[in-house]
Structure 1
Amino acid sequence: MSPESHDQAPGPPECGTAESEVPTASPYARSYPSGGFTVVEVLGEIDMATAGALAEHLDAVTAGRAPQVLVDLRRVTFFDCSGLRVLCRADRRAKERGGSLRLVSDQPRIHRLLRASGLLSRFPPLPALPPPSRPGSAPPPLPPR
């Protein structure tokens, strides 16, 4: 069964989070604005027990109109299919709202997981965060998927 088939699974209830509102940090994720994007920095181990904390952040940052989200996985020490399911759901939510979600990872093990799960073409990782743009300007363009 592919991760996309679980995209419709119930999650935390949708909230009226404003586009500029950033969720409270947790031991597993923190979010901050950077150059027209919302960066969700993922920390530590993301598995069945901790994926909910990541899902809360991604639900909040994809709740607004046209969310531009970068999920930074460079500080992740473990990531399994529970995390992939959360990423697939957040990507679908962002696209439904006219936005996008991209991954940032320089870790070969994350790339292997994406390749093995068939999600590398859906989530081609950027090696680093793009440089911040000037205030009031559009976010810098990302390399194409």
Structure 2
Amino acid sequence: MSEAHARRLQYLRERTVGDTTVMELLGDIDILTAPLVSVRIDALTAGPRPDLVLDLRRVSFIDCSGLRLLCRARNRIRTQHGRLRLVTGSPRFLRILRHAGLAGVFEVHTHLPEALAHEVEPSAVSAQAG
């Protein structure tokens, strides 16, 4: 990866909380960085019933490549009977989801502890804020 790519996606960290993998991202998810993230998500979701939280609270920009990455991850995880949650407090990101016709498609939380809860909360399934 070039230095310019590394600056655009400045931070990619993972940790495990119980049976859940939390991937934290910082910077831009765009046409230049989405392939890197996609490869890592594929590796993290290779097994049966993957449980993944994508922490997007520090993502400053996402383009259609980033949205495609999120949709691909969701579809891959659902096919394997797993669970994907997004964490973001950004009204702008939620507006992007709505305008792209993706509101209600993702389980979205504003705080990480909510996303790590084992029960699916009905209010968390919809991206209606903002």
Question: TM-score scaled to structure 1, two decimals?
Answer: 0.72
Q: Is the Cα contact below 8 Å between 1:28 and 1:53 reproduced in 2?
A: no
- Would you tell me which structure has more strand in proportion to its own residues? 2
Residues of 2 paired with 1:28 and 1:69: CA distance?
Answer: 17
Are residue 141 (structure 1) and residue 119 (structure 2) matched? yes
Q: Is the Cα contact below 8 Å between 2:109 and 2:115 reproduced in 1?
A: no
- Relative distance call for 1:132 and 1:43 in structure 2 (3 A) is closer
Match of 2:75 among 68, 71, 92: 92
**Partner residue of 2:35?**
52
- Would you tell me which structure has more helix in proportion to its own residues? 2
Structure 2 stretches lacking a partner, 5+ long: 1-8, 126-130
Structure 1 segments of 4 or more deviating over 6 A? Answer: none
- What SS does the corresponding residue of 1:88 show, helix, strand or coil? helix
Identity %: 44
Q: Deviations over 1:73-109 (max 9, x none)?
A: 0010111111110111111111111101111100111
**Partner residue of 1:114?**
97
Q: What pairs with 1:119-130 in structure 2 (closer than 5 Å)?
A: 119-130=102-113
Q: Deviations over 1:85-143 (max 9, x none)?
A: 0111111111111101111100111101101001111014201112698xxxxx62232
How well do the aligned residues superpose, as a CA RMSD in angstroms?
Answer: 2.0
- What SS does the corresponding residue of 1:38 show, helix, strand or coil? strand
Residues of 2 paired with 1:132 and 1:105: CA distance?
Answer: 10
Q: Deviations over 1:57-86 (max 9, x none)?
A: 211111111011111100101111111101
Residues of 1 paired with 2:58 and 2:115: CA distance?
Answer: 20
**Partner residue of 2:52?**
69
- Relative distance call for 1:117 and 1:92 in structure 2 (3 A) is same
Structure 1 stretches lacking a partner, 5+ long: 1-25, 134-138
Question: Which amino acid in structure 2 is aligned with residue 107 of structure 1?
Answer: S
Residues of 2 paired with 1:65 and 1:110: CA distance?
Answer: 29
Residues of 1 paired with 2:115 and 2:109: CA distance?
Answer: 15
Question: TM-score scaled to structure 2, two decimals?
Answer: 0.80
Residues of 2 paired with 1:143 and 1:102: CA distance?
Answer: 11
Are residue 102 (structure 1) and residue 85 (structure 2) matched? yes
Q: What is the deviation of 1:35? A: 3.0
